Chain A
Amino acid sequence: MKTELEHLSKRVTKGLMTRREFVGRAAALGVTAAVANSMLATAAKAEGPVKGGMLKLGMSGGESTSSLDPALAASEVPIMNLRNLGDTLVNVNKDGTLDNRLAEEIEASADATTWKFKIRSGVEFHNGKTLTAEDVMRTMERHSNEESQSGALGIMRGIKEMSVDGDMFSVTLDGPNADLPYLMADYHLVIQPDGGFDDPAGGVGTGPYTVVSDEPGVRHTYKKFANHWDETTGHVDEIEMIVLNDSTARTAALQSGQVDIINRVEPKIADLLGRAPNLNVVSTAGAGHYVFIMHVDTAPFDNNELRLALKYAINRQDLVDKILRGYGSVGNDFPINAAYPLFDESIPQREFDLEKAAEHYKKSGHDGSPIILRTADGAFPGAVDAAALFQQTAQAAGIPLEIKREPNDGYWSEVWNAQPFCASYWGGRPVQDQMYTTAYLSTADWNDTRFKNPEFDAKLLEARGELDGAKRKAMYTEMAYMVRDEGGLILPMFNNFIEATSSNVGGYTGSPIGETMHGFAAARCWKTA
């Protein structure tokens, strides 16, 4: 019984099992809940960071086209580079709370339109310069500059005015926003000396590691920055990140001991890999999701009955089992799950119901012409298979769904956000406001379902300025129902992040907000002998 419990508690720490399931299984073995919980605590408690050594990571998501310019970072390796070499004002912890990094204190005016960030003193850049509030403001200016190519430009657009007073950096917004600190946690907004205007890709930041070699698409190496302000991060002396975009190459490198950590383990090999000795597979439930999106302003998807028919005609659990191999959870046609603060668990799950699907399809009065769903391998892993499964169940409900396979090349410019019905994916955002603002507000650039609902927009703006959590949660619940029941989003599944480490890696705890510990794996893990 002991070994079984140990095995189960390991599964919980790996994210393969929930705490509730564990307590249930333990009870079945005759253990009281209190004892079961304390066992979990022991399993989860790390032995404490070990300093020194070298950590090697084999990473998917690096290209020879990338650079160290924070404004241009968009994939996993560039994001981790920024985490190693720089700091943002705040971070989001894995439980959704804020971790003050370069901002020591954060203060909002009562209406949440003016925010003050007290900048930490005694922080040194890698070039020996001391961090000032001026550097922070210049960084924000670079990202909000009209000429900017920054992926964070959308975030910065809500800012009316910025100013510096001593070590205080103040931001005045166009309208109230209770989530501003979360926006400041965006990985693009790494603070650079003088805002990075002179040398944006120079790799100078305040982070725990300094750049030794920077070969985009091949490898990046780092050594510990001796004068880093925070002793609790940056445990190993050296980091080597090797770009391994081929899944088999990544797995082989981990198995042969050439790397200690790999990201993006394919669901189909995760179980096999977990059985290998000296390896741990870490699965983390996240906010990222795979979707089929319909333009609600384009026929035939402008008919809500047809949209509902399609939503009922998809077998979500089957997709989770077959496409994600169980490494994920079912979605409910709105882009929020338990990974977000203020999520309402009581919203009923939309079930797979062919009768209802057929009923709604009949009510829609669709003329029976084929409904074309565009998909590509690159839309999300398994997107072509997922579309085929969807087609099967839709046909069972009498809906003439037809699949059109598109090339990966150019999918994001020619198909996504251009064609009326296609497969796609979304990464999570730290807070609900940001997710809805990015893709569901009428005026959003990436409103990829063309969902335009004035009532929804008004509610979103109202919630943004609401500092009372309970009231805010109620508003988000209303908005969730609007997207779920009227929107163009079919969200069958939330995908887990699956990563693997060798067993001598300590401190690896997945984050629901982003893969590889939200990019912090290299900077926060350590090596035990």
Chain B
Amino acid sequence: MHPILKLVAQRVALGILLLFAASILIFAGTSILPGDVAQQILGQSATPEALENLRRELGLNEPPVSRYFSWLGGVLQGDLGTALTNGRDIAESLGSRLSNTLFLAFWAAVISVPLAIFLGLLAVRYKDRWPDKLISAVTLTTISIPEFMIGYILVYWVSIQLGWFPSVAILNDSMSLGQKLNAIAIPVMVLTLVVLAHMMRMTRAAILNVMQSAYIETAELKGMPMLKIIRKHAFPNAIAPIVNVVMINLAYLVVGVVVVEVVFAYPGMGQYLVDHVAKRDIPVVQACGLIFAAVYIGLNLVADIVSILANPRLRHPK
């Protein structure tokens, strides 16, 4: 077998193993949450009878190990079960939430990733001159402000004062793509501002690192123009760290944007998860946790594989 295929297969197998371990962690974690599902569902207005009936109906009296295996069996067959709180099919309600989250993450990534890499290259080209300093100053400022604050500031100016885009980003099926993009305009701006700096700085650092190499000096001595050196010699060799940081930020856009979702009332996964944690709706929390873990592991897998492929030493082993 080609060593690359073997390496990739190993990575995928490791990913699956990791996911399995994550499922155990998620299950154990949800089991030690304080409080009781039935109490949380019925709230302050619960009576002991109602509590006991609900507990029995939800199967909370069964031992955790048997609950874990019956859950895992269901998951492997694509059945995530039904929510304890409102009896809805989890796969179904999660599906629309997940697609909303991916929709937002996709558009934020489409704008922020090329922008960050472009700005990174630009910063290297004009290293230590005013474009470099300006780019760094602006992006570091936006990453330092808490994202809800950026959200509120943009809502105040762009939505309330100028009236360009809505302050509430609620999507529904009857909206056209244009209407949807209009609805998520401000959240996309916020997310772009939040993730830009990390990717930009990493691109800049990785390329600058490569720029110290002897072969860059050779290229310079040959009289090659600066941007061409960066494009042809520096960037390909800096791909691995850049892809890594891009993937971490993509993962963040999928799993870490709950604050933005709350500020814009965006119906994504984060808010869905938080609501169910608050109500101790364990099957939903587990399903969300598993999906988040899969996203992280999957994107890191992609980053690993891209790094392997981008490395000639691994591509052409002796």
Contacts and interface: CB of A to CB of B under 8 A. Distances in A.
A189 B93 CA distance: 28
A65 B47 contact: no
Given A74-B45, A249-B167, A65 B86 contact: yes
Nearest to B152: A248
Contacts of A151: 42-43, 45-46, 50
Given A64-B93, A65-B86, A412-B44, A258 B49 contact: no
Task: Indicate the member of B93, B263, B265, B279 with the most A CB atoms within 10 Å.
Answer: B265
Interface string B12-49: 00000000000000000000011110011111111111
A244 interface: yes
A244 B168 contact: yes
A106 to B, nearest CB: 25
A410 B264 contact: no
Contact of B40 (A243, A256, A413, A445): A413
B163 A256 contact: yes
A240 to B, nearest CB: 9
A445 B86 contact: no
A65 B276 contact: yes
Interface residues of A, number: 46
B271 interface: yes
Given A201-B87, A217-B271, A258-B167, A149 B53 contact: yes
B262 A246 contact: yes
A446 B278 contact: no
Contacts of B49: 146, 153
B45 A244 contact: no
B275 interface: yes
Contact of B54 (A58, A149, A259): A149
B95 to A, nearest CB: 13
Interface in A205-246: 213, 215-219, 242-246
A253 B279 contact: no
Given A64-B275, A147-B53, A245-B262, A72 B41 contact: yes
B159 A256 contact: yes
B298 interface: no
Contacts of A69: 86-87
B29 to A, nearest CB: 13
Contacts of A412: 35, 39-40, 43-44
B58 to A, nearest CB: 10
B41 A446 contact: no
A256 B167 contact: yes
Nearest to A416: B44
Contacts of B86: 65-67, 69, 72, 201, 216
Contacts of B126: none
Given A242-B170, A242-B265, A153 B47 contact: yes
B160 interface: yes
Given A65-B279, A66-B86, A409 B34 contact: yes
A147 B54 CA distance: 8
Nearest to A426: B44
Given A246-B262, A256-B159, A64 B167 contact: no
A502 interface: no
Interface string B198-241: 00000000000000000000000000000000000000000000
A252 interface: yes
Contact of B267 (A75, A154, A215): A215
A149 B57 contact: yes
B85 A149 contact: no
A86 B281 CA distance: 27
Given A64-B93, A64-B272, A74-B42, A154 B87 contact: no
Interface string B267-288: 1000110011011010010000
A80 to B, nearest CB: 16
Interface string A406-443: 00011011101000000000000000000000000000
B83 interface: yes
Nearest to B165: A256
A330 to B, nearest CB: 24
Interface string B47-71: 1111001100100000000000000
B119 interface: no
A410 B265 contact: no
A154 B265 contact: no
Contacts of A215: 172, 267
A413 B170 contact: no
A258 B85 CA distance: 30
A503 interface: no
Contact of A413 (B35, B53, B97): B35
A447 interface: no
B159 to A, nearest CB: 5
Contacts of A147: 53, 57
Contact of A409 (B35, B168, B271): B35
Contacts of B131: none
A252 B160 contact: yes
Nearest to A445: B47
A399 B199 CA distance: 56
A248 B154 CA distance: 12
A486 interface: no
A132 interface: no
Contact of B172 (A219, A243, A258, A414): A219
Nearest to B97: A64
A367 B216 CA distance: 79
A249 B263 contact: yes
Interface of B: 33-36, 39-50, 53-54, 57, 83, 85-88, 93, 97, 152, 155-156, 159-160, 163, 166-168, 170, 172, 262-265, 267, 271-272, 275-276, 278-279, 281, 284
Interface of A: 58, 63-67, 69, 72, 74-75, 146-151, 153-154, 201, 213, 215-219, 242-246, 248-249, 252-253, 255-256, 258-259, 409-410, 412-414, 416, 445-446
Given A148-B53, A149-B50, A248-B263, 13 more contacts: A64-B271, A66-B86, A149-B42, A149-B57, A151-B45, A151-B50, A217-B272, A246-B265, A249-B265, A252-B155, A252-B167, A410-B35, A414-B35
27 contacts: A64-B93, A65-B41, A66-B86, A67-B87, A67-B88, A69-B87, A72-B41, A146-B49, A149-B53, A149-B54, A150-B50, A151-B43, A151-B45, A151-B46, A153-B49, A153-B50, A213-B172, A216-B86, A242-B170, A242-B265, A246-B265, A252-B160, A256-B159, A258-B166, A409-B34, A409-B35, A446-B44
